[in-house]
Amino acid sequence: MKKDIHPDYHPVKVVMTDGTEYWTRSTYGEDGASLQLDIDPSTHPAWTGGGQHLIDRGGRLSRFKNKYAGFLG
């Protein structure tokens, strides 16, 4: 591996919107820096961290599946 081409990878503190904190390693800021989040899973409905369920009650997804049901089969 080439020397001196990679960014510094160091511990940083991540502060969630509810005040909880945890330490992780990152290239953000300097060693020991604090990263304050504006959004996280508890405050934003479109967060992609998981726990999402696809519920389609006869909407677009159902119409699409019905339209192309025998297309490739």
Structure confidence at residue 48 (pLDDT):
61
What pLDDT does 66 receive? 84
pTM of the model: 0.54
| pLDDT (0 to 100) of residue 58 | 67
Q: Are 45 and 27 in contact (CB under 8 A)?
A: no
* Token couple for 68: 């192309």
pLDDT computed for residue 54 by the predictor: 61
Question: Residue 67 falls within a domain, yes or no?
Answer: no
Q: Is residue 46 part of a domain?
A: no
Asked if the structure places residue 61 within a domain, the reply is no
Q: Is residue 52, in this structure, part of any structural domain at all?
A: no
What is the identity of the amino acid at 72? L
CATH code where residue 32 lies: 4.10.80
Residue 65 inside a domain? The answer is: no
* 7 within domain boundaries: yes
Please give the residue range of the domain that contains residue 29.
1-40
Task: State the total domains in the chain.
Answer: 1
What are the tens digits of pLDDT across the range 5-62? 988 999 999 999 889 999 999 999 999 999 998 888 777 776 665 555 566 666 788 8
